[in-house]
Structure 1
Amino acid sequence: MMKKRTFMAVALATALMGAGLTTAHADQTFKLTIASSHPTTLPWVGLMSTLFVPEVNKRVTALNKGYEIEWREAYGGQLYKMNATLTSVGSGIVDIGWVFANLESSKMPLAQFATVTPFATGDVRTILEVANEMNENVPALKAEWDRNNLVFLGASGVDTYHLFTKTPISTYADLAGMKLSAPGALATWLRGSDAVAVDGSLTSYYTDIQTGVSEGTISISTGILPNKIYEVAPYVTTVDIGALYNGGVAMNKDSFNALPPEVQKIIKDVGLEYSKTLGNTLMQDYEAALKSIETQGANQSVPVKVAPLAPGEREKWANTMPNIAADWVETNASRGPAAQIVQTYMEELRKRGAEPLRDWDKDL
């Protein structure tokens, strides 16, 4: 009787498959948490919600294998703050998150290559394209993500940096003695200026400037605008220190490995699409943000004033700075091919039409 039932079951399954009434894979739901320390008003976070999540869903559905992702989204520091972006993803507090590599120099020393080569280019699209290629093709960079239990998905970055201060700045010499907020890794840009770097990020600048902890910041217009930092730092001095690769969206390695290979591929493909879209978005939003800062701050008690650094002062800043790239290479000599990373980065930028104000790689 058992053999007869088994035969009938096989025959029924065969008939159903022939009629297209069965699926080759059972339905499966993957529960993933995606998060950030920063709010969705910032482009590199907003696109995690408006592009990454829906695009992954669309492509997973198109596989037609019964897979579904159940997302939990937690942005704006709901689960962790800016000083825990790497550890929160690496330890599995979240599955996918934005990792602020600029604040992780001790755990990701080689990832700082863009911060030690300022005045390279203001085109963030170029920088992100190069950063994505390097994180995939340079073993030492790939290993840093791996060591921290992360899978790199796509580079993030920001538009070019300017000065936003409580008092006017017109020359490089005006920086002497000023307290300026900047993420830790960007403090190197102030070396040689006699300015004092104050550690912080976009989420802390307003309060720091308002309370006198600092007198301004080296920052980006697309970040200053939504955080309304121009209210306490109304003097905008356009310097074009350069756009910057600052980290990226990454996934916990254990969570990634638990997914089917075809879903893993989708996650990585969409990560690169996120990065490309971010670059285009930042280039479109940059000028508009700068203009909006001026417009929205026109009627405040101290109206916003936007003015360029005096002629020749940008070059003075770049050339007065110690060779921070060479210093960085020396510091990281035992950790991997630091010199090669700087050289590759600068060469790849030039191949794409960038004209660095200073050739950091030629004096290592």
Structure 2
Amino acid sequence: MRKSKTAFATATALSLVLAAPALAQETIELTVASSHPTTIAWVGGIQAHFQPETNRCLAERGNAYEISWREAYGGQLYRANATLTSIGDGITDVGWVFIGMEPSKLPLMQLGAVTPFVTDDLPALLDAVNTAHDEVEALRQQWEDNNVVFLGASGNDTYDLFMREPIRSLAELQGRRLTAPQSLSLWLLETGAALKEGGLTTYYTDIQTGLAEGTISMATGILPVKVYEVAPYIVRTNIGAIWNGALAVNRDVFEGLPEVVQDCMRQAGRSYSTYHAQDVMERARTATQTMVELGASQNPPVQVVDFPEEERVKWAQTLPDIAADWVERNGRAAAEVLSAYMNALRANGATPLRDWDEGIAASR
């Protein structure tokens, strides 16, 4: 009889456990948006990696929450000149920030324009940017002052010259007219070349009409706008990869989320940088080959011209100390960011042609 009672009690307890309702999973709705379409690498990586990776992390951490993403990519909510304010003002919860459009609000994020010739390894570069955010409070604070939280950096493949005529030395840049964003004019100081301000949408016409003889740009940008048709010489100057923006979240929204959701978004933001950087490197490798193939029958055909290494070194050393000038304009925090960034790059295996933090370290 005792065994029967015990068995009955055990069965009753088990049935109660099985009948108990499972813990309900809470769905959190967030809007994710961008000024660019998902065909652009740094936006595509948000959709393809960051979103599912955040939910994968949440499932792994107990499955108490899941995010339902409302997507508004491709400029549905705002344009490229309003990426930072649109996140900070809550027009979107999560989005990509175009840092080149925000020199006054994010001055410490403009470091890439004053540190050319450091590396063409975008994964190493973006890891260094993320490391700088971990180490320098002023860098994180600059984002938070705009009511956003930085999640992970994005970037472009290395910059080369795309020319109407081949050049193989720094001296041949003398007197050349190049079209590029104004921020890249610093890379031409003391070279004798002149810059006509332009962008990917204007390069083709600028070169075709003779307003410029070439451009400073990256293969992944030049291929889709077909600039190789009017500038058939891909001069591999390898000025270096550069970061162009970041994935960020509205600060008020972020601070209102459960801690586990915050942790998973931060983790997914960093892995977004890695995923995106590897994607860009692969796109760059295929872009150059595709341009050569597509331009094989034009006159002259698309050709790759290797810029000699000694000329790259000469170019890097010819430039004035543009990083020191940038630090002088932006103060002590800028010196900390530059130091953290360059140290992280070297720790990641990069061998810069010029150690832009050298003068800063010597002056401390």
TM range (shorter): 0.7 to 0.9
CA distance in 2, matches of 1:204, 1:84: 21
Please say if residues 83 and 97 of structure 2, whose CA atoms lie closer than 8 Å, have aligned partners that are also in contact.
yes
- 1:36/1:98 contact within 8 Å kept: yes
Q: Is this contact kept in 2: 1:51–1:274, CA < 8 A?
A: yes
Cα RMSD, aligned residues only = 2.6
Aligned position for 1:59: 57
CA displacement at 1:191 relative to structure 2? 1.7
Please say if residues 41 and 226 of structure 1, whose CA atoms lie closer than 8 Å, have aligned partners that are also in contact: no
* Matches for 1:13-92 after TM superposition, within 5 Å: 18-19=17-18, 21-25=20-24, 28-62=26-60, 65=63, 67-92=65-90
Question: Equivalent of 2:340, from 341, 344, 350?
Answer: 344
**In 2, Cα distance between equivalents of 1:227 and 1:219:** 12
Q: How far 1:267 moved relative to its partner?
A: 1.3
Please give the alpha-carbon distance, in whole angstroms, between the structure 2 residues aligned to 1:268 and 1:16. Answer: 41
User: Which shows bigger deviation, 347-356 or 223-232?
Assistant: 223-232
Question: Could you state the TM-score of these two structures normalised by the residue count of structure 2?
Answer: 0.85
Count matched residues.
348
Aligned pairs for 1:1-364 (under 5 A) are 18-19=17-18, 21-25=20-24, 28-62=26-60, 65=63, 67-206=65-204, 208-210=206-208, 214-310=212-308, 312-333=310-331, 336-364=332-360
Relative to structure 1, the CA distance from residue 315 to residue 36 in structure 2 (aligned partners, 3 Å threshold; closer, same or farther) is same
* Structure 1: 5+ residue stretches without partners: 1-13
1:15 and 1:258 map into 2 onto residues whose CA distance is 38
Mark the runs of 5 or more structure 2 residues left unpaired by the alignment.
1-12
Secondary structure of the 2:142 match is: helix
Query: Secondary structure at 2:68's aligned position in 1?
Result: strand
Q: Give per-residue Cα distances to partners, 1:128-179, cap 9 Å, x unaligned.
A: 1111111122101111111111111111122211011334333323334444
Q: Is the contact made by 2:34 and 2:83 (CA closer than 8 Å) also made in structure 1?
A: yes
Would the alpha carbon gap of residues 265 and 339 (structure 1) be closer, same or farther in structure 2, given more than 3 Å must change? same
Cα-to-partner distance string for 1:272-325 (whole Å, 9 max, x where unaligned): 111111222233333222111211222245421210224532122111111101
With over 3 angstroms needed to count, the CA separation of the structure-2 counterparts of 1:94 and 1:187, relative to structure 1, is: farther
- Secondary structure (helix, strand or coil) at the match of 2:116 reads coil
**Counterpart secondary structure, 1:92:** coil
Q: Which amino acid in 2 is paired with 1:22?
A: P
Are 2:174 and 2:193, in contact at CA under 8 Å, matched by a contact in 1? Answer: yes
Contact 2:234 2:304 in 1 (8 A): yes
Q: Is the 8 A contact 1:102 1:183 kept in 2?
A: no
Deviations 1:223-253 (A, max 9, x none): 2223333233322110011111222111111
CA distance in 2: counterparts of 1:146 and 1:36, whole angstroms: 19
CA distance in 1, matches of 2:203, 2:16: 62
Q: Answer yes or no: is the 8 Å Cα contact 1:101–1:108 preserved in 2.
A: yes
Q: C-alpha distance in 2, partners of 1:211/1:88?
A: 37
Q: Does the C-alpha gap of structure 1 residues 45 and 263 become closer, same or farther in structure 2, counting only changes over 3 Å?
A: same
